[in-house]
Amino acid sequence: MFPISYQIWPNDKQNFWTSYSDTYNLYYRCGEDRGPLPIPLNSHKVLNFTTTVTTDLNIIIMGDSIAVQLGQGFQEASGTADENRHVYRYSWGTHEGLSIAAPVRGGGAVAFWRIVDMWRRKNEGKPLPNLSGGGWLRQDAITLLNHSFCREQSELDNCTTSHQFFTKVKVFEVLIFWVPAGWIGYASVDEQSLKETVLMAEEFFQAQAVIFVAPGFTNNANSLEEVELASRRIRTFSNIWWERRSNDDTKNGTGSVKFVEILEFGNFSISLLKANAEAIGYNASDEKQLVYEMLCCQRYNMRIAQVCAERVTSGSKSCKKNLLSLDGMHLCMKTISGRLFAGLSCIISCLFNKNTSRYDRRTCSKKCNEDFMSLKPLILD
């Protein structure tokens, strides 16, 4: 078995095991009262599909509340049984902040840890989410690494303490880091903060790979350019790490992180914005329309072109919402999760499944982004 594999399921081929119901996400669901996906986004080759994951790797997802959406969804897509999922801490009332599912389909573990800054040593012990400051606790890392489960099991069977392969997590081979630009600002996504996050992943998790999810266009962004610039800085850092990694372990920590990659969600979010804008009657090349035409009197800034399934006058108090963005920040996971999970699983498979050179792995990862972090129709059987 490969360390990770994934399978795409068009809507007409889904069943109980392959459908995605957003089971663990209680607060950021997009309801049934929303407008339908516009053509061509409603095609099962573009958005209307799900992705299931099988892995024996230990994977952790870190970041803000959108990362929690991703973590909860990845646990579900990885086929964990409810009995094998544990929430260790709630970050804000009953919002989940620290959770692990183990074993998932394939025998691995999928955890998530809420943090609202890059992972920086100076923030240890500072206030935890949902307060600003980027605080985190060393004990949270220890708790996840000491989590016990029986790794060897068939598919979705319940894990019991009597199983002979009961073990602790011990390491997370993969850190997926959702960059929380809404909390820290897009300009704060720089080489130093990215490097520090990688070094922390080495120190605490002995990670072999770090995948930064580039921040998308949200209600915290002032322009498309700053989203694109943040993605470019992550891309540049990834290139630098790949070039330096084999030459200077002393500057790159313990040397456990061999691969630093990017999931091009920034580009994908802009593609979604423009596609929805065109569908409801905007000129997608007119950035002023996309960025400055907003709904009035909302808790968060909401761009009409991003959250609405119909075009209304700028300053309107409401609109028929779409199935892409809940509130200009959180995602409609039932719609978008298929591409997110496939893109991440594809990149991880490039890094762990192929016994090839680093340049071949890079080419492979780039193709994953081209295939899944775009609106290019998929080639399905």
What is the predicted pLDDT for the residue at 245? 66
pLDDT digits (tens, 9 = 90+) for 262-314: 999 999 999 999 999 999 999 999 999 999 999 998 877 899 999 999 999 99
Q: State phi, psi for 65 to the nearest 5 degrees.
A: -65, -25
pLDDT of 154 strictly over 80:
no
**Pick from 279, 266, 278, 166: which is nearest to 220 by CA?**
266
* DSSP class per residue in 106-153: TS-EEEEEE-SS---GGGBTSPPTTSSS--B-HHHHHHHHT-EEE---
Q: State phi, psi for 267 to the nearest 5 degrees.
A: -60, -40
pLDDT of 187 strictly over 80:
yes
Give the least confident one: 13-22, 194-203, 250-259. Answer: 250-259
> Full-prediction pTM beyond 0.85?
yes
Residue 92 is inside which H or E element, if any?
Answer: strand 85-92
Return the domain boundaries, the chain.
Answer: 4-34+50-266+337-371
What is the predicted pLDDT for the residue at 166? 80
Q: Angle at which helices 358-372 and 333-352 pack, to 10 degrees?
A: 170
Please give the mean pLDDT across all residues of the chain.
92
Rounded to the nearest angstrom, the gap between the alpha carbon of residue 253 and the centroid of all alpha carbons in its chain is 25
pLDDT of 23 strictly over 80:
yes
d(CA 43, CA 128): 41
Q: State phi, psi for 248 to the nearest 5 degrees.
A: -150, 80
Task: Assess contact for 369 and 263: CB atoms under 8 A.
Answer: yes
Rounded to the nearest angstrom, the gap between the alpha carbon of residue 83 and the centroid of all alpha carbons in its chain is 24
